[in-house]
Structure 1
Amino acid sequence: MIKYDKLWETMKSKEITQYDLYTKHHMNRSQLNRLRHNRNVEVNTIDKLCNILNCKVEDIMTHYPDDNVF
């Protein structure tokens, strides 16, 4: 499972709000909602966030192993 808890911490440390993301950086509100609920997002969204926040992928998301591995 991928969780985006670090995203909100990184945004806070960079002083960028969700409002900034969709007004200044034209991020889609539905994408932000997907991130808030740890749902699937496209790699392009992660790339865009890393560019906006000037950070690494690890600063946005964390992988947690699933118990039911194939």
Structure 2
Amino acid sequence: MAIDYQPLLDIMGKKKISWYRLEKLGIDNRTVHQLRHNLNITTGTIGKLCKILECQPGDILRYRPDDES
């Protein structure tokens, strides 16, 4: 099982928000690294991202079964 943050990248592109901007808005640089490499993040971080991007959790992440690439 894996969580994929490609939808986050898509919404960031649509809203013209960079990784740098996310850091300035309170997302820690270690968390940005985790997001960029599809690593685990906390639900608190998901909440912060949703507030910043004015979206729902399903708009920024998706579940990808192990057998998919």
TM-score bracket for this pair, using the shorter chain length: 0.7 to 0.9
Larger Rg: 1
Uncovered stretches (5+) of structure 2, i.e. residues with no partner: none
Uncovered stretches (5+) of structure 1, i.e. residues with no partner: none
Give the TM-score normalised by the residue count of structure 2. 0.88
Q: Secondary structure at the match of 1:63?
A: strand
* Equivalent pairs, count: 66
Mapped pair 1:59 → 2:59 = yes
Q: CA–CA distance in 1 between the matches of 2:27 and 2:57?
A: 17
Instruction: Spell out the pairing of 1:1-70 with structure 2 (5 A cutoff).
Output: 1-23=2-24, 25-67=25-67
1:45-70 superposed Cα distances (whole Å, 9 cap, x missing partner): 01100010001111100001235xxx
Give the TM-score normalised by the residue count of structure 1. 0.87
Q: CA–CA distance in 2 between the matches of 1:41 and 1:26?
A: 14
Structure 1 consecutive aligned stretches of length 4 or more whose deviation exceeds 2 Å: none
Identity of aligned residues (%): 39
